[in-house]
Chain A
């Protein structure tokens, strides 16, 4: 298997404060990888650095091309969809407009219409509300919308920042089931950052554990789930 995303020696800064201290990892094409870590470990920063939304140094390669110096919108246009923390919903626009915006960098109009229909199949609740202002959706519905919006890009790689945040457990299960399906059926490589380690490890095939801006463990998700340190720190048993 070839590496789709290669990150080497990534260091990121917020003003004078260094948040990442030389992070290296890679994602295999078609994999579903999770990045685990406590609050403030640098998970969000890692995702933001990939999309060049925070000042960083190091090498980031996507499908063999260096992307470290590209602007956020140009990284996205390569096929990297990023579902940010807090979902980034365009709350004063309709559900359908949010989906349209997901595909704004594409020009194949017919395929876009078909893709919107496909999203309504994945997420039936969105279909019932397509003319509604997105801000009036519940948290779970907004998260579904955020994932659907990201898929409208027809991404090769999807980055998700704590999709389970603030959602009821049943909804999280539903969401993760859909993510698994997208990964298998649409061949989208997924990197998901999570605090809900148990669910994330069940879903993922690869896992990285990050502590204070460094990778401290990596490997097969099952092995990581069975690791005693991880169990104590992140799974709570």
Chain B
């Protein structure tokens, strides 16, 4: 029983990573109906920016804020330059665009900062959290930040006019234009926010997985799994999905013999497929009620 509780706790800690990433994935999916395969690389690049700033002597939280701001602007720039022209293009063209972006960012990061693994600091320290060996203060801080972002997003979308306009533009672009919403900028804003959230995810994850250009590959797949599980239309679902995937992964690794570390990633992929077959809207995705 104690083993079970400990594994659940450890799962929640890793789940926070996936939850962060899933949140960013859902943001873009809401805005443009596509999964951004380059999301992880954008987050990795942002994390390198913050690392570079710290190398130049900027204190942690200063670098943190600058990086989030930079990522927000860069997200908007990527949308304006690369994906706005593709807005009316078929899905496959967009997918090609995402993969190109993935490769470009990955190579550029490698070119600038090379592929050696770098230490990345944590602002929360890494001592045991409340005396537990399974969860460190960093992981606890990460869970806190993820939940804080979720609450902020909830308030933004539920209670602000810009949030309302973004939701309208995502759900029904033509009607949104007919009430005077500039839908094109709403999409750009969605990209900016997703990039900013992704950068926070990257900076939280880096102390755990170490900083290098390929650090986000596995994380992104878990992030997709979490987003699909929770429902691609629900930020709340994405976060819950992230924690569930983390716990699920840990429990399967512990209790099913032969799974171990090697088979954890296929389990995430199997989870994506299973959810898509059994409950395509995900656990919290809103199935639209319609009456004719």
Contact = CB atoms under 8 A, between A and B. Distances in A.
Given A90-B172, A92-B171, A76 B178 contact: yes
A104 B289 contact: no
A63 interface: no
Contacts of B179: 76, 101-102, 104-105, 149, 153
Q: Interface size for chain A: under 10, 10 to 19, 20 to 34, or 35 or more residues?
A: 20 to 34
A84 B178 contact: yes
Interface string A123-147: 0000000000101111100000000
Contacts of B175: 84, 88-90
B168 A84 contact: no
A135 B291 contact: yes
B109 to A, nearest CB: 37
Interface in B235-283: none
A49 B201 CA distance: 45
A139 B11 CA distance: 48
A149 B171 CA distance: 16
Nearest to B176: A101
A198 interface: no
B180 interface: yes
A186 interface: no
A80 to B, nearest CB: 10
A211 B178 CA distance: 26
Given A90-B172, A101-B165, A135 B289 contact: yes
Contact of A73 (B180, B290, B292): B180
Nearest to A92: B288
Contact of B181 (A84, A89, A104): A104
A97 B181 contact: no
A154 B174 CA distance: 20
A51 interface: yes
Contacts of A135: 288-291
B182 interface: yes
Contacts of A77: 180
A73 B181 CA distance: 6
B183 interface: yes
Interface of B: 161, 164-165, 167-168, 171-172, 174-183, 286, 288-292
23 contacts: A51-B178, A53-B174, A76-B179, A77-B180, A81-B178, A84-B174, A88-B174, A88-B178, A89-B175, A90-B171, A91-B289, A93-B171, A100-B164, A101-B165, A101-B176, A101-B179, A104-B161, A104-B168, A104-B179, A105-B179, A105-B181, A135-B291, A153-B180
10 shortest interchain CB distances as A-B pairs = A105-B180, A88-B175, A76-B180, A72-B177, A77-B180, A73-B177, A73-B180, A135-B289, A92-B288, A82-B178
Given A51-B178, A88-B174, 17 more contacts: A53-B174, A72-B178, A73-B181, A76-B179, A77-B180, A88-B172, A88-B178, A90-B168, A90-B171, A91-B288, A92-B289, A101-B165, A104-B161, A105-B179, A105-B181, A133-B289, A136-B289
